[in-house]
Amino acid sequence: MHRLHRDPKSYSGALEDPKRDLYQKPQEVIMALGLKPGEVIADIGAGSGYFTFRLAHHVGDTGKVYAVDVSSDMIRHINRRIRELKVTNVV
């Protein structure tokens, strides 16, 4: 997957592949965190936002998720999704 870093569109696609849910089990991970509405959390290494937007849903409108990534391409991708989804609690 690391070779995909050179192609942000392909890399985002790989990160958002629905098959990823089978081994990442995002719902189980998020439930194990025991998130509560209003919490402020950081998604370090946010990539395409695979966990970011799920986390944002769980902390609700009064919470906040900081999506952090070293790739400016991934941050641009997340910012596009924020606008498309009209999410107000992701920075």
pTM of the model: 0.80
Q: In CATH, what is the architecture of 7-85?
A: 3-Layer(aba) Sandwich (3.40)
Residue 43 has phi, psi (to 5 degrees) of -105, 95
Domain boundaries, the chain: 7-85
Look at residue 9 in the predicted model and tell me its pLDDT: 65
pLDDT in tens, the chain (91 residues): 445 456 666 666 666 767 766 777 888 999 999 999 999 999 999 988 999 999 999 999 999 999 999 989 889 999 999 999 999 999 9
CA-to-CA dists, residue 89 to 14, 63, 67, 81, 85, angstroms: 25, 6, 10, 12, 11
CA-to-CA dists, residue 82 to 11, 64, 75, 86, 91, angstroms: 18, 13, 10, 6, 9
